Amino acid sequence: MPDNKNDFTQGNIVIKLLKFMIPILGALILQAMYGAVDILVVGQFGTTAGISGVSTGSSIVNLVTFTITGLSMGVTVIMGRYFGQKRNDKVGQVVGGAIFLFMILSVVIAVVMLVCARPLALLMQAPKEALDLTILYVRICGGGIFFIIAYNVISSISRGIGDSTMPLVFVGIACIVNIFGDLLFIAVFKWNVVGAALATVMAQAVSVILSIVIIRRRKPPFTMKKEYIRFNPEIKNFIRVGTPIAFQEVLTQLSFLALCAFINRLGLDASSGYGVANKIVSFVMLVPGALMQSMASFVAQNVGAGLEKRARKSMVIGMIIGGSIGIFITLLSFFHGDLLAGIFSSDISVIARAAEYLRGFAPEAVVTAILFSFIGYYNGHERTLFVMLQGIAQTFLVRLPVSYIMSIQPDASLTMVGFAAPCATVFGIVINVVYFIVLNRKNE
C-alpha cells in the first residue's frame, strides 16, 4: 500500500495534486531541456543543416518515445487501480509483465529504426542538405532505443505507486549527462548531429543504470519475484488500457511528423525555424503534460476506492491550475517568440520563421491544459478507447487538413500552419465536454 503522502484518496486535493504534479513537471522540464540542448548546441556550434537533421530525426524518435509512454500509461493506471483497491499482491505481476513486454518491444523497434532510417527520412521529406544527417541521427538513437524505452517504463512504474520524485531524479541524471555529452561531442569534437545522437543515447544509458541501482536499494511497496517477469495475465490488462493511449500518441506524433514534412517542403530556413519552434513548443506543453500524467494516477486511485466525486473535483482543479499558467505562457510565446528562438539559433532567418510559427501556436498553452485534464480523467477511468477516438477526430478532421491547406498557400505563413494545433484542441474539448455530460447522465 502506498504511504499516506502517496495515497490520493484522502487529504486536500489541491495540495496532494500539486505535490504529485510538481516533480512530474520538473521531470518534463528536464526532458524538454534534454531535447532542447541538442538543438541549442548544434545551433551554436554545428550547422543549419544539422539543426534540420536533429529536428527531423528527433521527430521520428519522439514517435517511438511517446508511443511507449502511452502504452506504459496502462501500467500506471492498472497499478493505481490495484493500490486504490488495496490489492498490492497484483502490483508485482503488473511490473513483471511490463518488464517482459517492453524488453521484446525494444528489440523489435531497434531493428526497424536501423533498417528503415532512410525510408523514414525520405518520408519526412527531409531537406536534401540534411538527409544524410537525419539518417545518422535515427540510426544511432535506434541502436540505443532500449535505454530510451527502459527509462519510460521505470518512470511509469514509479508513478503507478504514487511516487513522482524518482522519475525526476532519473531524468535529472540524464539531463546532466546529455549536456556534458553535447558540449564534448559537438562543441569540442565537432561531430554535429552524430554528437547529438550519441549524447542522447549515452545519457539515457547512464540514467537507466543508475536508476536500477537506486531502486534495488529501496524497498518497493509491493512484492516482486523473478517468476513474474514473463507473459502473465496482467499484460493483457495494461495493454487493454495502454494501447488506445499509445495509438492516440502515434496519431499525435504522426500529425507532427506530417506537419514537419509539410514545412520541410518550404525550404531549409522554414525547416530549421520549425525545428527551433518545436523545441520551444515542448516547453509550452510541459504543464498540460504534467497535468495529464498526474491526473491519471490521481483519478485511478480514487476510482478504485469508489470516490468518483473526488475524482471529478480533481479534474476541475487541474483545469484551473493549468489554464492559469497557460495564459502567461501564451502571452510570452505570442509576443516574444523571437527572443525565445534566439536562445537556440543566431541565424536571423531561422529566428524569424520560428517566431512566425509560435504566434499561431501560442493559444495551445491554455486550451491543451483543459483538454489534457479531461484526458487524464478518462485515462484514470480506463476510458482509453474514447481517448483514442477523440484523438483520431482531432488529427484527421482538423489538425492535418488545416495545417496542410495553410502550408500550400502562396507565400505560406507558418503562423497559420501553427494555428492548426489550437483549432484541433478546441475541437477536442467540445468532444470531451459532450462525452462527460453523456457519461455522467448515464452513471446517474
Tens digits of per-residue pLDDT, 343-377? 887 788 889 999 999 999 999 999 999 999 999 99
pTM score? 0.72
Q: What is the pLDDT of residue 4?
A: 60
Instruction: Kindly report the average pLDDT of the chain as a whole number.
Output: 87
Q: What is the pLDDT of residue 80?
A: 81
Q: What is the mean pLDDT of residues 132-154?
A: 92
Q: What is the pLDDT of residue 216?
A: 77
Q: Which three cell numbers stand for residue 92?
A: 508485482
Q: What is the pLDDT of residue 419?
A: 92
Q: What is the pLDDT of residue 2?
A: 46
Distance, C-alpha 219 to centroid of its chain: 28
The per-residue pLDDT for range 43-82, each reduced to its tens digit, is 888 888 888 889 889 888 888 888 888 888 889 888 888 8
Distance, C-alpha 28 to centroid of its chain: 8
Q: What is the mean pLDDT of residues 142-150?
A: 91
- Per-residue confidence band for 1, with pLDDT thresholds at 50, 70 and 90: very low
The per-residue pLDDT for range 9-50, each reduced to its tens digit, is 888 889 988 888 888 888 888 877 777 788 889 988 888 888
| Count of residues making up the chain | 444
Q: What is the pLDDT of residue 123?
A: 85
The per-residue pLDDT for range 159-172, each reduced to its tens digit, is 777 787 888 888 88
Whole-angstrom CA distances from 313 to 268, 308, 379, 437 are 47, 9, 15, 15
User: Between 192 and 267, where is the model more confident?
Assistant: 192
Q: What is the pLDDT of residue 180?
A: 93
Q: Is the pLDDT of residue 87 over 80?
A: no
